[in-house]
A and B are shown apart, each in its own frame.
Chain A
Amino acid sequence: MRRLISACLCTGRKYELYSMDWDLKEELRDCLVAAAPYGGPIALLRNPWRKEKAASVRPVLEIYSASGLPLASLLWKSGPVVSLGWSAEEELLCVQEDGGVLVYGLHGDFRRHFSMGNEVLQNRVLDARIFHTEFGSGVAILTGAHRFTLSANVSDLKLRRMPEVPGLQGAPSCWTALCQDRVAHILLAVGPDLYLLDQSACSAVTPSGLAPGVSSFLQMAVSFTYRHLALFTDTGYIWMGTASLKEKLCEFNCNIRAPPKQMVWCSRPRSKERAVVVAWERRLMVVGDAPESIQFVLDEDSYLVPELDGVRIFSRSTHEFLHEVPVASEEIFKIASMAPGALLLEAQKEYEKESQKADEYLREIQELGQLTQAVQQCIEAAGHEHRPDMQKSLLRAASFGKCFLDRFPPDSFVRMCQDLRVLNAIRDYHIGIPLTYSQYKQLTIQVLLDRYSKPQDSGRRAVCGQASQPLLDSCGHCSSPVSLGSGRPELQAGVRLPSLSHLTLVPFTPSPARLVLRRLYPLAIQICEYLRLPEVQGVSRILAHWACYKVQQKDVSDEDVARAINQKLGDTPGVSYSDIAARAYGCGRTELAIKLLEYEPRSGEQVPLLLKMKRSKLALSKAIESGDTDLVFTVLLHLKNELNRGDFFMTLRNQPMALSLYRQFCKHQELETLKDLYNQDDNHQELGSFHIRASYAAEERIEGRVAALQTAADAFYKAKNEFAAKATEDQMRLLRLQRRLEDELGGRFLDLSLHDTVTTLILGGHNKRAEQLARDFRIPDKRLWWLKLTALADLEDWEELEKFSKSKKSPIGYLPFVEICMKQHNKYEAKKYASRVGPEQKVKALLLVGDVAQAADVAIEHRNEAELSLVLSHCTGATDGATADKIQRARAQAQKK
C-alpha cells in the first residue's frame, strides 16, 4: 500500500497513527462501520445484509480498538441492522430495521434495548444517524414513510416525531441531524430544496450565496461542534457555511459529479481555516478556502471519522490522522522559518552538537526579546506532535530556552510533560486510544459535563444506593461478562508508562474513565498515581470499578472474590463496599454480596442492600449497630410486611432498641398492636399500665372503666405487683362509690382523687359520709386531720373546727391549726390553738399569732439559741424594743454560763 508520511502542506498534514493489525477478511465496504470519536473503538458488522439463516454467513459484530486490537466478536442473532453508532459513553447503538435499538458495551456485552416507537416499527427504518449533543447521544431515524423520529438523549429516552415535509414523495437525497440552541433539528435535502425540521414546523431554507444550477444535494456534513455545514451538489460544487445556512464561508468547485462516499469537516477549534474532506471510492480531497485542493489517492477502501480537530482515516491496513497544522507547529517547521520557536529548536540542536551556532541563534532570539515566546511555541508544538522523539526534541528545546530566562513560570512546561506522558501511554498500540492533545483537553470538560448534567445519573445512582458517590454513575460501563479469548485484565499486569521527566500535579483527567471502560485498570491506576490525583478521585474510583468487574467473574468462588477485593481495596478512602456488593447482587451473587458487605465499615450503608436481598433480620441488626433510628424503623416496616405477626414480634423481642422504637410508634398509631406486643412478651406490668391508661383515656362508660381496671388489676397480679393491683382495686371501688355519690348527692365526684373526694364531702357538709369513706379506704389519721382542718378552715366553720380539734389528741400537733387560722386571717381562733401547741413549736406558734413578747419568754425559758434568734428577727420597731433587750440580756447570761 501507499504510505503517506506526514504530508506537510500549507494547511493540512496527515500522519499514521497505527498500522492496523485486525486482519480483516472483508472489505470495509461490505460492512457496517462505526467508529467512536475521541480515538474511540471501531465497530464492524460483517454481512449485515445477508438474510440467510446459515450460521456461516450470519452477520458478525466485531469491535476493535482504534489500533485494530479485537475487543469483542459476537454472532448477530437479532434482526437486520440499519445503522451502527457509538454513544458519548462509548456504548454501541445498533439500530435495527424494526426500530429497536440494541445497546452493547465496549466488550460486546449486551446492556439494554429500547424501541424507537410504534410508528417506526410499522414503517421500518430506512436510515438512522447517531449524533452527539451536549446532553448525551441521540438517535435520528428516517422511516419508510419518510418521516423522522428522533431522541436527543438515548439515556433519557424521549421520542419526538418530527413534522411531515410537505410534498415529500421519495427519500431525501441526503439528511443530517443538527443541534442548535440545545435543540436537535433535522436538515434534509429534496431535489434542489433544503428543509429544516424542528419540533413543530418544517421550513424551507436556502443557503446564502449558493451557486445557481443546483438540482440536487448529494451529501451534507456538519462539523463536530455543529457550527458549520458543508453541502455537496450534483454539480460538483461544495458550499461551506454556518450551520444556520445564513452565512457562506467559502465555496469550491471540484468538478466531480459522482456522489462522494463520505464528506466530513476537518478543522480545529478556534481556527480560521475551513476545510472539508471528501472521500470517493479511490480519492480523498481536502478542500477549503484556497483555490487549490489537496488530493490523495486511496489505495484501499477507507473510512473517515470526524474528530474535534481533524479527521481519522482508517482502512484495512492503516489508521491515519489528517489535521490542520497548528499554528505553533507551522511556525516552527515551516521551511526556512525565522519564528522564535524555530530558532530555539535550531539553537538547541546546535548546542547538542556543541556548536557555537547555538549561541548565535540564541542571541538572535534574545535580541528580538522573543525568548519567552520561543519557549512557549516549543512547548505548544510539542503537544501537537504525535511522535515521542519529536515531542522530546521540542521539549528539550523549550527546556534549553528556559535556562536563559529568569522568570519563566514552570507549570506550562511541567503540565505539558505530564500530559504528553499520559497521552503517549494511552496512544500505545496495546491501548489504542489515539487522542490528540486538543481532544484530550476537550474530553476533560465533556466528561465533566457528562457527570453533572446527565439527568439519568440520579436514577442510576439510586439503584446503586449511594448518592454521595459520583463514582458509580459510570459503573454501568464495566458490567456483565464477556467471552473474550484473551486473558483477563488483572491488576498485576502492568503497562509501563514511557518515562519522560520529573513532574507534579495536574487537574483531573478523564482518561482513567475511558481506560476503565476498556478494563485497563492497572494503567488507569498508574496514571492516577503519576498525576497524584487525590485518592478519592483517582485510585479509589478505579479500584471500585475493578471490584465491580471482579464480582462478575462467575468461575471464582465467593470467598476468593471477596478476599481478593478486600486485599486490594483494604480501607481505601472513598471506596464503598456496599456499592460493590450491590453490583455482586445485581449479578445474582447474593452470598458474595453479603460477604462484601461485611467489609463495609458504615453499617448504615449495608442496610438498604440487605433489605433488597431479603436479609431483613441481618439488616435489622446492622441498622441497630448504626445507631440510626430512622434506618431501624425502615427495616422494621419491612419486617412487619415480610414476616407474620408472631415472627415479627419474636424478632423484636431480641432487639430492645427496635422494640422500644416500634412501641413508640404503636402508642400513637396502633394501640391494639401495642397490647399484643405486651401480651406476646408476657409483660404484665406494662399490660397493666396499658389498661390503666385505657380506663381513663379510652373508656367513657363507668362499666367499661371498671372493666378496664379489673383487667389491669389481673395483669398486675400476674406481674406480682401486689401494690399496683391493690391500688387498682381500690380505684375500682372508689369509682363505683363516686358514681353512687353523684347519684345520691349530686355534684361531681367522678375522677376526683380519694383525698379530694373526702374534701368535697366535708365541704358539702356530709361529714358522716366522709368519715365512712375515710374508714373504708383506711385513710391515715394524719391525712384525715390535715384534710379536715383545711376543709373546715376553708368553710370558716370555726365551731366545727374547734369541736374537731377536741375530738381527740391531734396526730399532727396544733401548730397547723394556728397556721391555717392565720392563713384565713383569724387571729382570734389562732390564739386558741397557739396555747395548745407543744413546747418545741410553741415559739413558732406564738410568733405566728404575733405575740412576740410571750415568744421571747418561752424561748428564754427554753434557752434555745436558734429560737432566740428567730424571735429576735421578728422584733420590729419600737414596740418590741423591750423584748429585744430582754433577749439580748438572756443571751449574754447564757454565754456567761
Chain B
Amino acid sequence: MAFPHRLDAPELPDFSMLKRLARDQLIYLLEQQHEVDKLYKVENKPAVSSSEQLCFLVRPRIKNMRYVASLVNADKLAGRTRKYKVIFSPQKFHACEMVLEEEGVYGDVSCDEWAFSLLPLDVDLLSMELPEFFRDYFLEGDQRWINTVAQALHLLSTLYGPFPNCYGIGRCAKMSYELWRTLEEEEDGETKGRRPEIGHIFLLDRDVDFVTALCSQVVYEGLVDDTFRIKCGSVDFGPEVTSSDRSLKVLLNAEDKVFNEIRNEHFSNVFGFLSQKARNLQAQYDRRRGMDIKQMKNFVSQELKGLKQEHRLLSVHIGACESIMKKKTKQDFQELIKTEHALLEGFNIRESTSYIEEHIDRQVSPIESLRLMCLLSITENGLIPKDYRSLKTQYLQSYGPEHLLTFSNLRRAGLLTEQAPGDTLTAVESKVSKLVTDKAAGKITDAFSSLAKRSNFRAISKKLNLIPRVDGEYDLKVPRDMAYVFSGAYVPLSCRVIEQVLERRSWQGLDEVLRLLNCSVTKEDKASSESLRLILVVFLGGCTFSEISALRFLGREKGYRFIFLTTAVTNSARLMEAMSEVKA
C-alpha cells in the first residue's frame, strides 16, 4: 500500500507561498481598507446586520450583483445609508459593474479585486475553485475564465520558473496557452534565466475526455467524493459515518496519514488495509501492558497522542468505508459497474441500452441516468436515432419536461448526441463556407465542430489501448497499470495521452490520435531539459480524483512527480448537474 516514490523522483514545490500571497492580500483588503470584523455567507436573503458598512466577497457573477443591488436598494427604501464594498475574486468584470449601474447603485458601491486564483488543496493539487468554468466555457461558450487561467499559469511560472515543454489538447488549452504566452512576453525578463523547476506542462480540455469523468469512481478518494462530495479538500461526514448524532468535518489531504495511504487504493483493498491498520494500532496500545512506570510515562508523553490521532482518523475512515459499502456493494452497484464496463468495451450495447432504460423507468436517480446516457452516447459516437428519441422520452416522462433544455444543453456540449446519418454536417459546412470568406469559413467550421463534436472514442480506445486485455483476474492489490482506478477495465484517456507523450517525448506517432480527438495541439518548446521530472497537468473544466490517482500511480512507476492544476475537482454528478436545467 502507498508505495514510496522512486528515489530519483523530484521533490514537490512548496505551495505555501501561494497561500501566503492570497491570505495576505485578503487580510489587507479586509482589515486595512474596510475594517471587517465578521464574515457572513452571501445568501439570497436580506442581510441582517446593523453594521455601518457591508463588504461582499463574491465571484464576479451577474446574479451576485443583482443580489448586492437589491440589498442596497432595500436599504435606500428604508432610508438607511451604509457603505458598500464589493470585493471580486479573482477579478472584476465589466459586466458586473454594468449591472450595478443599471440597477442604479453604482455610485453607492465601491469595488475591489482579490486576485486569488490558486487554492492549494493538497501538496500536489491546486484548484482554481471555479466549478462554473465547465458550464461557462463548454456549454455557454463563454471565455471569460480563460484569462484567469492564463493569469494563474503566469503566476506559477513567475514563482516556480519557466516551463520548458508545453503540450495542450483542445481549443481552450490553446487559447489559455496563447494568452499566457502573451502575458509572459509582456512581462518578460523576470522569468528569463531562471532555472526551470517544472519540466513539462500539459493543458487538457475536459471535453477531450468526457468518458473518464463520467465513469463511476472506485478509488477510495474518488468514491468518497462521489458518495459524500468533497468540498475544497474537506468533507462533511454525516451521522451515518460518525455513528454519533453529529456530523464531522474532515480535511482530506496528505496530512491525514491514514487517508494518505488509502486515497489512491482501489476500494476493494481499503477495508483490508484499514483492519490491518486497526490491528497494528491495537498491538501498539497493547504494548503498554508490560510497561513499568518510566516506560509508561514515555509512552503517554510521546506516543499516545499520535496513536490517539491515528485512532480517530482510522475510525472516521472505517465509518466512511462502511457507509460506502452499504451504498455501493448492493447488487445494483455491481450491475451498474458491469454496464459501464460493457459500454467502455463496446459489448452488449443493446443490453446496456435496456439497462439504462430500466434505470430511467425505475427513477433510480436522475443524475445517474443522465450520466449513463451520456456515457453510451460518447462511447458509441452518438445514439442511434431510435434510442436517442426513446431514452429522451422515457427520461422526460420520469423527470419532467424541463429536461428538454437539459438535453439541448447536453447536445450542445457534445455529451449526448444523435448519430448523424451520413455527412449532413459536412454538407452544411461546405454550403456555409461557400457563402462567406475564407477566414470566416475557418471560424465557422471551428464553431461547427465544437457544436457537434464527434466522439471517436472507440477508435481512440483501440489506438491507445485503453481497454487492457485481461488474462485472468486483474490483481487490484498490485496494479500493473493505470487501469486499476477503474478496476482494471479502462485506462483513463486523459492520463494515457500524458503517459504516451512523456514516453515519446513529443507528439510523434500520436498524429492519428490527435486527429481523432479532433482538437488542436499547442506549441511544444524544445525539450531542453529532459531531466526535469516534475510535471504540471492543467485540467480545464475540472478533473476527477480517479485521474489524479492514476497519474500519481504513473509518477510512482516512472519516477515522475505530477502537480495538478484544475479549474475545480469534479466528478460525473457535478458534470451532469452543470448541464441540467432545474426548476428554480
Q: Within 8 Å of chain A (Cβ to Cβ): is B342?
A: no
Knowing A668-B63, A689-B405, A753-B398 are in contact, say whether A629-B98 is a contact too (CB < 8 A): no
Chain B residues whose CB sits within 8 angstroms of the CB of A790 once the complex forms:
362
Chain B residues whose CB sits within 8 angstroms of the CB of A685 once the complex forms:
408
Q: Mark B83-123, 1 if CB is under 8 A from A, else 0.
A: 00000000101110011001000000000000000000000
Q: Which of B2-38 contact A (CB under 8 A)?
A: none
A753 touches B397 (CB 8 A): yes
B358 touches A782 (CB 8 A): yes
Q: Within 8 Å of chain B (Cβ to Cβ): is A280?
A: no
In whole angstroms, what is the CA distance A790 to B402 when docked? Answer: 24
Q: Within 8 Å of chain A (Cβ to Cβ): is B524?
A: no
Chain A residues whose CB sits within 8 angstroms of the CB of B179 once the complex forms:
627
- A603 closest partner in B (C-beta): B182
A661 touches B397 (CB 8 A): no
Q: Within 8 Å of chain A (Cβ to Cβ): is B284?
A: no
Q: Within 8 Å of chain B (Cβ to Cβ): is A258?
A: no
Q: Which of A174-182, A220-228, A434-442, A722-730 contacts B (4 or more CB under 8 A)?
A: A722-730
A673 to chain B, nearest CB (A): 12
Knowing A628-B147, A637-B98, A790-B362 are in contact, say whether A727-B62 is a contact too (CB < 8 A): no
Interface size on A, residues (CB 8 A): 46
Which of B95, B99, B140, B397 lies in contact with A660, CB distance below 8 A? B140
Q: Within 8 Å of chain B (Cβ to Cβ): is A408?
A: no
Q: Within 8 Å of chain B (Cβ to Cβ): is A617?
A: no
Knowing A668-B63, A696-B402 are in contact, say whether A782-B142 is a contact too (CB < 8 A): no
Which of A627, A630, A734 lies in contact with B178, CB distance below 8 A? A627
Q: Within 8 Å of chain B (Cβ to Cβ): is A456?
A: no
Chain A residues whose CB sits within 8 angstroms of the CB of B405 once the complex forms:
689, 692-693
In whole angstroms, what is the CA distance A663 to B363 when docked? Answer: 34
B93 touches A755 (CB 8 A): no
Q: Mark B51-64, 1 if CB is under 8 A from A, else 0.
A: 00000000000110
Q: Which of A781-796 contact B (CB under 8 A)?
A: 782-783, 786-787, 790
Which of B175, B362, B363 lies in contact with A627, CB distance below 8 A? B175
Which of B141, B363, B389 lies in contact with A755, CB distance below 8 A? B363
Q: Which of A683-740 contact B (CB under 8 A)?
A: 685, 689, 692-693, 696-697, 723-724, 727-728, 730-731, 734
A205 to chain B, nearest CB (A): 43
Q: Mark A393-410, 1 if CB is under 8 A from B, else 0.
A: 000000000000000000
| Secondary structure class of chain A's binding surface, majority of residues | helix
Which of A637, A656, A657, A692 lies in contact with B402, CB distance below 8 A? A692
Which of B136, B358, B398, B408 lies in contact with A812, CB distance below 8 A? B358
A724 touches B404 (CB 8 A): yes
Q: Which of A656-687 contact B (CB under 8 A)?
A: 656-657, 660-661, 663-665, 668-669, 685
In whole angstroms, what is the CA distance A643 to B361 when docked? Answer: 52
Q: Within 8 Å of chain A (Cβ to Cβ): is B399?
A: yes
Chain A residues whose CB sits within 8 angstroms of the CB of B393 once the complex forms:
727
B93 touches A633 (CB 8 A): yes
B99 touches A728 (CB 8 A): no
B140 touches A664 (CB 8 A): yes
Q: Within 8 Å of chain B (Cβ to Cβ): is A754?
A: yes
Knowing A637-B98, A660-B140 are in contact, say whether A728-B62 is a contact too (CB < 8 A): no
Q: Mark B358-400, 1 if CB is under 8 A from A, else 0.
A: 1001110000000000000000000000000100111011111
B449 to chain A, nearest CB (A): 13
B396 touches A629 (CB 8 A): no
Chain B residues whose CB sits within 8 angstroms of the CB of A734 once the complex forms:
401
A602 touches B147 (CB 8 A): no
B102 touches A689 (CB 8 A): no
A354 to chain B, nearest CB (A): 51
A657 touches B141 (CB 8 A): yes
Interface-centre pick from A629, A657, A782, A790 (highest chain B CB count, 10 A): A629
Chain A residues whose CB sits within 8 angstroms of the CB of B331 once the complex forms:
844
A627 touches B146 (CB 8 A): yes
Which of B66, B141, B396, B408 lies in contact with A689, CB distance below 8 A? B408
In whole angstroms, what is the CA distance A602 to B404 when docked? Answer: 43
A602 touches B186 (CB 8 A): yes
Q: Mark A640-659, 1 if CB is under 8 A from B, else 0.
A: 00000000000000101100
In whole angstroms, what is the CA distance A787 to B62 when docked? Answer: 42
In whole angstroms, what is the CA distance A753 to B399 when docked? Answer: 5
A552 to chain B, nearest CB (A): 28
Q: Mark B406-419, 1 if CB is under 8 A from A, else 0.
A: 00100000000000
B361 touches A783 (CB 8 A): yes
Knowing A663-B140, A786-B358 are in contact, say whether A779-B397 is a contact too (CB < 8 A): yes
In whole angstroms, what is the CA distance A780 to B146 when docked? Answer: 46
- A659 closest partner in B (C-beta): B141
In whole angstroms, what is the CA distance A832 to B381 when docked? Answer: 44
In whole angstroms, what is the CA distance A750 to B560 when docked? Answer: 58
Q: Within 8 Å of chain A (Cβ to Cβ): is B248?
A: no
In whole angstroms, what is the CA distance A753 to B400 when docked? Answer: 4
Q: Which of B329-368 contact A (CB under 8 A)?
A: 331, 357-358, 361-363
- B400 closest partner in A (C-beta): A753
Q: Within 8 Å of chain A (Cβ to Cβ): is B427?
A: no
Chain A residues whose CB sits within 8 angstroms of the CB of B95 once the complex forms:
630, 633, 661, 664-665
B189 to chain A, nearest CB (A): 9
Chain A residues whose CB sits within 8 angstroms of the CB of B401 once the complex forms:
692, 727-728, 730-731, 734, 753
Q: Within 8 Å of chain A (Cβ to Cβ): is B584?
A: yes
In whole angstroms, what is the CA distance A777 to B398 when docked? Answer: 13
7 additional A-B residue pairs with CB within 8 Å, beyond A727-B404, A777-B397: A627-B150, A634-B94, A656-B447, A665-B98, A696-B402, A697-B584, A790-B362
| 21 examples of A-B residue contacts, CB within 8 angstroms | A627-B146, A627-B147, A627-B178, A629-B144, A630-B91, A633-B98, A654-B440, A661-B142, A664-B136, A664-B140, A665-B98, A668-B62, A668-B63, A727-B392, A727-B393, A730-B396, A754-B398, A755-B399, A782-B357, A782-B358, A783-B361
- In the A-B complex, the 10 residue pairs with the smallest Cβ-Cβ separation, listed nearest first, are A660-B141, A668-B62, A629-B144, A731-B401, A753-B400, A754-B397, A783-B361, A633-B94, A755-B398, A627-B179
